[in-house]
Structure 1
């Protein structure tokens, strides 16, 4: 009877014409971990040639006083081949736990990447998250000590029910269930495996053990800290006692068993400022894990720069349980994906220091149309070591030039051939980034780091882009890109020369249209930057800080355009 849900999925969900319709799925009691059958609903959200994504809802095994919290929402990502499977029971499946603060895009990225590799994957929202909190919001979890404690028990019960759903799929081997998560999700993954014997493989990124220390340390858990501090001493002891029982360190025996089979993977950030690194080391030691990755120099949030490679690492880890015949072949258009990823990486690297002895160069010009107005622009950027030179003509800014010499001394060109040099009251190590809104600059830095790393895992772009590649008569290639999830309306068209170098970019994004000609885009190549300040201009020394603040204001202007 374990295939009842699976047969319904095959017979009902495998049809693209059912997009937007709600379907009722039934799982009998004998297939459920708690011995109680349940029904789940599924709605097709999105489908392409490789995977289908469904919105899943099912009742929580634990009924709370808040009705909204008693329904568990999630998303199921199925390889198209798994939808047509009528009972092979051969594929692994993965339940992904989400982070504390986020919009579930990280979980969708991992689930989608797993599904494209042939592995069904799913994530569910934990108790009191989003719609499960009702009108009270996340604060509902702090209604009382009993509610707070019950949320942890309910979260694990919900996860076991999600595993019931996964094991009921006719394509899934119930002996190949894995769990994965990042940050809070990593803690939940390693915590659950001690209470759920069906878990056969665990990948935990940026987690750790010793929940009491983690709760007391991280600024992200300040709301939890404040709640606990307001409780009576007996209730505080109840809370710490429960946390000790579900602590990943308390699951050492189960984790060691996984480790002995090579089925445990841990990833930590060397300078994690949310999960103390000593808590990470405690978990690595207690689990005797042999597959541990430390991200050098990374904090909890800068670790996102390594995300493309980490997703690829996760997929390979869980794909070890795929039968040989089910191993996913390279997606169609892999070469085109690699070219798009290389372009994203090269452009993003313009904002990172070049490799020793190398430099970056970007030369482009074009036009942008918006609100019935057409604007011409040009841009030239050269960077080598501490020196760089940036000049151009940009709408709303006009002609500009700025840079730094080999010693890092900043300069900026002004009207009437004036040249401002920031030597006054100079301090070594001072940069314009210090004067940009920290949150905005951080988001930009993380986004550019993520794009720069895409060349190591171009297949991730499959999650976001519909790509069409056409060869042209002159030997060049045209790549047409559209957003797969509809978040970005319109189309971007890239034109590559015979050597695969980007030469033109055209876009029509509704409000904005434009064409860009790219004469040079080179990252970590042979680049020279004029060593001296621009000649023929009237030089004037100014305070270093004043000049850097001017740079920061211009940079902030552009960041506001891309990240309001």
Structure 2
């Protein structure tokens, strides 16, 4: 029996060695952070009432960064959500850090952009935006919104979660995400922007309206007036409309529900000089009227509202334009890649 015992023991030790090697291949660092959320008050009583739904007691919190494969993969940044839903999987926020690298593979000290993804489970567009920004020298952080990615509890169905609570958690997670990014090495903490697409665009509009936490905000394929959007929109909007109707939310009851997280109530708090919108003229998921309503409430000028001849999906063809603008607004002139300068 010595042969089999020796063989089994050798295999066991090999497995332990491989496991240890896998652990050694990654690094885990912890950084101390604190919320910088300003007092959420507004001259408008309606805006103040809306803001109260996004307030939380500011606190110290820890940010962990896990690096594996020598940065061949995005780093995983994690921190606790300010809103406790009682689900430890969902309440531990994950951001994927796409690191800005120099020509020799060195990590650059550069500005950052937090990216809020669309409603697709694969977060494909969000990943594309984050990866591309990092290739142009901007640190990009793709946040996993509640019930997505690493925060998905497989025992629960995301579509069965409370819509208002989920949106509120997404908004406060994004705002705390800004403070988590600010304490990380090689990030220029004085220049942290926010970009969101579709679902992420609505989240960005709300989170960017809380205070001046983000230097610049880029709202893509999103708008305001949730009630009319749910009433008239197609595809994702229609699915959400049906889900809420099945739960008994129609008519005035639906209006009162979505009014709790309505961007138009606080959009005037966005700085129009530091906010940009990107809209598809043929978008039927977020119709032009809804985009224009948000632009009007935030006083976004025509120069800051880019309208492209596309629908909600074909707008992806114009993402190079969006990336170009974000990179130019994020980086100092001497750091803008030559490929973009040649297009000037």
* TM-score, structure 2 normalization: 0.74
The reply on whether 1:292 has 2:305 as its aligned counterpart is yes
8 Å contact 1:269–1:303 — kept in the other structure? yes
Corresponding position of 1:36: 59
CA distance in 1, matches of 2:141, 2:79: 13
Q: 1:29 to 1:293 in 2, by over 3 A?
A: closer
Structure 1: distance between partners of 2:219 and 2:338: 26
The answer to whether the aligner puts 1:97 opposite 2:116 as a matched pair is yes
Q: Which runs of 5+ in 1 are unaligned?
A: 1-16, 86-90, 339-455, 458-564
Once the two structures are TM-superposed, the CA of residue 122 in structure 1 deviates from its matched residue by 0.4
Q: Any residues of structure 2 matched to 1:161-560 within 5 Å, and which? A: 161-216=176-231, 217-232=233-248, 237=253, 240-241=255-256, 243-255=258-270, 258-259=271-272, 262-290=273-301, 291-296=304-309, 298-319=310-331, 322=332, 324=333, 327-330=335-338
CA contact (8 A) 1:266 1:293 kept: yes
1:23 aligns with 2:28: yes
Find the counterpart in structure 2 of residue 446 from structure 1.
none
Distance in 1 between the 2:210 and 2:155 partners?
Answer: 31
Match of 1:126 among 128, 133, 145: 145
Partner of 1:142: 160
Give the drift of 1:328.
4.1
Are residue 75 (structure 1) and residue 96 (structure 2) matched?
yes
1:316 and 1:18 map into 2 onto residues whose CA distance is: 39
Partner of 2:166: 151
Go from structure 1 to structure 2 and tell me whether the alpha carbon gap of 1:68 and 1:280 turns closer, same or farther (over 3 Å shift): same
Contact persistence 1:167–1:174 (CA under 8 A): yes
Shift of residue 188 of structure 1? 1.2
Q: Secondary structure at the match of 2:318?
A: helix
- Report deviation, 1:40: 3.1
Which structure has the greater CA radius of gyration?
1
1:323-352 superposed Cα distances (whole Å, 9 cap, x missing partner): x55x14438xx9xxx9xxxxxxxxxxxxxx
- Per-residue displacement from partner, 1:428-456 (whole Å, max 9, x unpaired)? xxxxxxxxxxxxxxxxxxxxxxxxxxxx8
Contact in 2 for aligned 1:52/1:80 (Cα 8 Å): no
Determine which structure has the larger strand proportion and give its number. 1
The Cα of 1:215 is off from its aligned counterpart by 2.4
Aligned to 2:6: none
- Residue 285 to residue 268, structure 1, CA distance change in 2 (3 Å): same
- Tell me if the contact between 2:119 and 2:198 (Cα under 8 Å) persists in the aligned partners: yes
CA distance in 1, matches of 2:204, 2:149: 20
Query: Cα deviation per residue 1:100-121 (whole Å; 9 max; x = unaligned)?
Result: 1152332232223323333222
SS of the aligned residue for 1:163 comes to: helix
195 and 235 in structure 1: CA distance in 2 versus 1, 3 angstrom threshold: farther
Q: Is residue 113 of structure 1 aligned with residue 132 of structure 2?
A: yes
Q: Show structure 2 runs of 5+ residues with no match.
A: 1-21, 39-56
Task: Point out the structure with the larger helix share.
Answer: 2
RMSD: 3.3
Give the distance between the partners of 2:316 and 2:327, measured in 1 at CA. Answer: 17
CA separation of 1:119 and 1:233: change in aligned 2, threshold 3 A: closer
Q: 1:61 aligns with which of 57, 82, 85?
A: 82
Higher RCO structure (Cα 8 Å, ≥6 apart)? 2
CA–CA separation in structure 1 for the residues paired with 2:108 and 2:148: 33
Matches of 1:233 and 1:215 in 2, distance apart? 11
Structure 1 distance, partners of 2:68, 2:315, is 30
